[in-house]
Structures are given as C-alpha cells and as structure tokens.
Amino acid sequence: DMNKPINVLTGIDCWLDNLMCNVPELAMCYHVDGIVQSYEIIKTEDIPYREGCQFPPGVVRDLATNLLSFLKANATKEGHTYWLFKGPDDDIVKLYDLTSLCETDRDDNPYTLPVATLLYKMAHNMVLKSDYETRLKESGTIRTLLKHCLDMLDPEKFPEYYCAAAYMMSDLFIDDNITERDWTYDENDLTDSESSKDTLSFEKEKESVTFACVDIKTLVQSKKHHFRENQDVPRLGPVRGNLEGRAREALKYLVTALRSNMVYRRIQATKSPDEKDQKSDEINQKSKLIVPLPYQTTRNCTKFLIDNKNRLTGDQRLKSIILHKAASAYFCLVDRCEQDKNYGSCLRYLRLALNCYSTEFKLQSRDQNNIDCKKLLSYIMSIAGDCRLMIGHVTSTEEIDKFREQYQIMSDIDSEIQSVIDEVGIDENSSEFSWVYELTPIIERNLSASAHAYEYAINIVQNLGDHEKERLHLLVKRLGNVRNETGVYWMNHCAQELKDMNEEIPKVKIKV
C-alpha cells in the first residue's frame, strides 16, 4: 500500500542490509498482484528518518557492533553450533553452545545435516561463480569447507551428501575443463607442499562453559564491548603439486564417492515404499537444500547429484560421472609415467582410463557427438600413441621385464574402480581398446599400434571444431613421424634379410 509507511523493523532491516553490502540507495517498489505500479528511490542515509520507521541510527549501530563483538569473543570453537537466545522478559541475551548437548554421538545433533549442507553450498557457490584461475586461488578455502562437511557427516547415515562432497573434493584436484596445455604444464611452477594433504590441526579446545550471557543495557552503549582478536581458523592450503599427486588425491575421493553410493543403494534397497516416503519427509524438514555437482564443462547449466527430494541421482548416471573423472585422473598418471619412462605403468593406467571411458559410454549410452567424452578420448589416444612408439624403441629384455612388473601392479583404489567396471560388464580382454594397452616387445606391433592410436585421435579432433586446428596439426606430424619410423624399420629389415640371403647363397667360381 503506497499510502502506508514501512514499519520500523523493515526500515532497520533494509538499512543494515545496505550498510553491510555498501549499497547507496534503496528502491521501494509498489505492486498490485505482483505487477509493479510505481517505485521510489531512497538514499541509505535517509532510511532511519522516514515517516513511520524512524529509529536512532547511532544506537542501532552501537547495538549491532557490540552484539557482533560479543559473538566473536564467545563463539570461538571451530565446528560448534551456537544459539543466541533472549526470553520475552529477560534483561540479558544468552549464547548457548549446542554442540555440548550432543557430545555422545555427533549424529544426535539436529544441526549436523543443515550445517554440513551449508558448508557444501558455500563451497559449491565459490566454484560455480569463479573462473578457473580464481578457483585455483580459492581452492584452499573450498577444500576447508568440504573437509569440514565430510568430517561432520557419517557416510553410513548421510551417504548422499557424503558422496556429493567427496566428488566435489575430487573436482578440485582434477578439472573436467582442463586443456592439453594444462595437462602438460611445467610442474616446476608448482611445488609439492604439506598443504596438499587434507589434514587440519587444531589446538586442543579449552574447557569452557556451555553458554555466555550479556546485559542488554550494555549493548546500546558505544564501544562498550571490544572484540578480542583471535587467531585465524586453520585452513587447508590451495591445491598445489604435480599432476601425479593431484590425480591420486582425486582418485581417493572418487572411490569415497563410489563407496557412499553403494551404501545409499543398499539402504534404499532394504526400505519399504512407506519408509522411503517417511525418510524423505524427515530430511526435507531438516534441509531444503538442493545439492548439485560442481558444473558442466560448458557451464551453461548445472548437473544435479541430489534432487529436491533429497534423493541421490540414478546409480548408472552417478557412476558414469565418477568414472569420467577417474578417466581424467588416470590420463594424468599416464602423462607423468611417460615422463619418467615407466611405460609399464603407462599401459596400466591407459587400460584403466579406457575401461573407465568404455563403462561411462555404456552406462550413459553416450552418442558420438558428446564433445566432453570424445575430447578426453582424443587426449588418451594421443598419449597412447606416444607410449607405444617409445616402447617400440626399447630392445632390452630387462626393460621389458620391468615394464611387465609395472603393468601387473594394482593399488587398492585401482582395484575398487576396476570392480565397478567389472560389475557393468566391461571385459578389458575383449574391449575395442584392448590393442591400445597391449604390452609386447615386438617392434612392428608397437609401431602399428602407435599409428593406429594417432589416427584414432585425429579422427576425433577433426570433428571438434576449428579451435583444435593446432592440436590436429601436431597429431598429423606425430603420425607422419611414426609412419616414417615404420618405413625405416621395414627398409632396415629388408636390407638385413637381403644381406642374410646373400650370405647363405654359396659362391660359385666360374672358370674362363
């Protein structure tokens, strides 16, 4: 109603909001049934003096400052939940530490899920609203939020949220949007540090009472309460280190996400329809949060891992999302092992990467126009061509034996991912890519596989657009190089055969 002034509470709320956000003006819109009829621009400094909502700004400012100082001085325990309370006729405001009510079991705390999902939402917003470079700089803060989220939740009771947070943590280490230049950047620019480890060391919490209180009369006195500076909350450092370390960290969290998914499916399978509806209603009362995956590579829409009814996305879709990230991580490991000339490990990681890709393709029934999958596959086939070419240069039986030992090694993380692949029904021995990771000392087979891999990558890159012309040119040069080496190999082979043949033919002396 344009004829009625705004009340005091609305005026204070708008004034404080503008002050905190440093907004110079307030727009008051008057509407009928949602249709704006007119509007009025009010300067922020004039809000306290509007008719009907007058209030002393100095008193409110002192009240807010003192109350904030009181909270900062008493709400100091990391990870604790506090409740600021004032009774109807009380002369004091009390601050309760609610965490102390649930010391026996963290999951008894009714605030566990809301706080954990809030931490996830904050991390998600930081990822969604930043570009790649900014995201790298803020990765320490994002990791800290997600680490606390994971620490608060029991994966057996909240597997859907645990799965979402674990996946996003892996996304910090390996980005879906990473380019070939990023894959092969000079790792001397980055240094391995303890900050890459997901550990937070906090000082032992001091014994304290479970509530604090303050007299309301003192809150309106200017500068009555002074904020005592506390040490900053410990935070994890930004994501740093070489690709190998980052890839291994990503795989660790991806396996965590897969485990949580298994728990969630098991719980859902044992519930009756009535129990599922009741549980959904209970969770909806605790949290209305929609928890999405970080982003799609095009960033034009959001992928959701949990829907608005707090249900985890379909089993097949979730596995395909996780395995796509795993394929990217294994590609990083191939890149690192190639630099170290550990070609047995290269072939092992190529096998796992291509198995992840094949499983993803089968689960999602991806069509041939899926750019993200095809682009990743082109990178995998490109580096596969490099590896097979270099193996073709190895003639030492000792080196080949070393490669065979490397090829057989499987970590626990690799085994868990391979078990998911096996469940889907991907047989690595009969896979369409089995020729890529074949370990053989036969030179011509390695050269042939190298050329075939480059051709496979070229066929993909040709359909990715003009922006891939530089990489296409590089792949064509590599294909030309391996074709040239193949020609030289067969020329030398023919020359040797001819030489051996000539030596076997007995020399006949002709008498004249």
Asked if 48 and 23 count as a contact pair (C-beta separation under 8 A), the reply is: no
Q: Per mean pLDDT, which range of 21-30, 171-180, 230-239, 445-454 is the poorest? A: 230-239
Q: Which residue has the tokens 């991907």?
A: 426
Domain boundaries along the sequence of the chain: 1-55, 340-503
**pLDDT given for residue 202 in this prediction:** 35
With a cut of 80, say whether residue 239 has pLDDT above it: no
Distance CA 374, CA 390 (A): 25
Q: Per mean pLDDT, which range of 24-28, 44-48, 284-288 is the poorest? A: 284-288
pTM over 0.95: no
For the stretch 378-395, pLDDT in tens is 999 999 999 999 999 998
**What is each CA distance from 416 to 108, 128, 171, 464, in whole angstroms?**
32, 30, 19, 33
Q: Per mean pLDDT, which range of 34-43, 47-56, 317-326, 502-511 is the poorest? A: 502-511
Residue type, 393: H
Distance CA 157, CA 159 (A): 6
**pLDDT given for residue 310 in this prediction:** 57
C-alpha 210: how far from chain center: 37
Q: Which residue has the tokens 């009369």?
A: 217
Distance CA 413, CA 184 (A): 24
For the stretch 442-494, pLDDT in tens is 999 999 999 999 999 999 999 888 778 888 999 999 999 999 999 998 998 89
Q: Which of 454, 448, 165, 407 is nearest to 294 (CA)?
A: 165
For the stretch 5-23, pLDDT in tens is 778 888 888 888 888 888 8
Residue type, 205: E
Residue type, 372: D
Quick one: three-class SS letters along 194-234?
HHHCCCCCCCCCCCCCCEEEEEHHHHCCCCCCCCCCCCCCC
Asked if 350 and 388 count as a contact pair (C-beta separation under 8 A), the reply is: no
**pLDDT given for residue 201 in this prediction:** 39
User: What is the rounded average pLDDT of the residues 490-512?
Assistant: 75
With a cut of 90, say whether residue 402 has pLDDT above it: yes
Distance CA 507, CA 502 (A): 9
> What rounded mean pLDDT belongs to the chain?
78
Report the DSSP beta bridge partners of residue 39. 29
User: What is the rounded average pLDDT of the residues 117-130?
Assistant: 83
Distance CA 77, CA 71 (A): 11
Long-range contacts of 427-434 (CB under 8 A, 24+ apart): 428/351, 428/355, 431/354, 431/355, 431/358, 432/358, 433/354, 433/357, 433/358
**pLDDT given for residue 288 in this prediction:** 41
Highest mean pLDDT, choosing among 72-86, 224-238, 275-289, 417-431: 417-431
Contacts of 501 (CB under 8 A, 6+ apart): none
**pLDDT given for residue 327 in this prediction:** 93
User: What is the rounded average pLDDT of the residues 391-405?
Assistant: 92
Distance CA 81, CA 109 (A): 9
- Answer with the residue of higher pLDDT: 392 or 284: 392
Q: Per mean pLDDT, which range of 52-56, 214-218, 354-358, 437-441 is the poorest? A: 214-218
- Answer with the residue of higher pLDDT: 474 or 188: 474
**pLDDT given for residue 83 in this prediction:** 83
User: What is the rounded average pLDDT of the residues 273-299?
Assistant: 48
User: What is the rounded average pLDDT of the residues 337-341?
Assistant: 92
User: What is the rounded average pLDDT of the residues 155-181?
Assistant: 81
Highest mean pLDDT, choosing among 174-188, 200-214, 418-432: 418-432
- Answer with the residue of higher pLDDT: 179 or 26: 26
User: What is the rounded average pLDDT of the residues 266-287?
Assistant: 63
User: Which burial class, exposed, middle or buried, applies to 443 when counting CB atoms under 10 A from its CB (0-12, 13-18, 19+)?
Assistant: middle
**pLDDT given for residue 138 in this prediction:** 83
**pLDDT given for residue 455 in this prediction:** 95
For the stretch 89-119, pLDDT in tens is 778 888 888 766 655 555 566 778 888 888 8
With a cut of 80, say whether residue 235 has pLDDT above it: no
**pLDDT given for residue 387 in this prediction:** 95
Distance CA 349, CA 101 (A): 49
Asked if 287 and 110 count as a contact pair (C-beta separation under 8 A), the reply is: no
With a cut of 50, say whether residue 196 has pLDDT above it: no
Q: What is the DSSP string of 380-423?
A: HHHHHHHHHHHHTT---HHHHHHHHHHHH---HHHHHHHHHHHH
Q: Per mean pLDDT, which range of 68-77, 230-239, 292-301 is the poorest? A: 292-301
The percent of residues above 90 in pLDDT, for the chain, comes to 29
**pLDDT given for residue 193 in this prediction:** 41
Q: Per mean pLDDT, which range of 220-224, 359-363, 395-399 is the poorest? A: 220-224
Would you give the end-to-end CA distance of the chain in angstroms?
A: 130
With a cut of 60, say whether residue 184 has pLDDT above it: no
With a cut of 90, say whether residue 350 has pLDDT above it: yes
**pLDDT given for residue 122 in this prediction:** 87
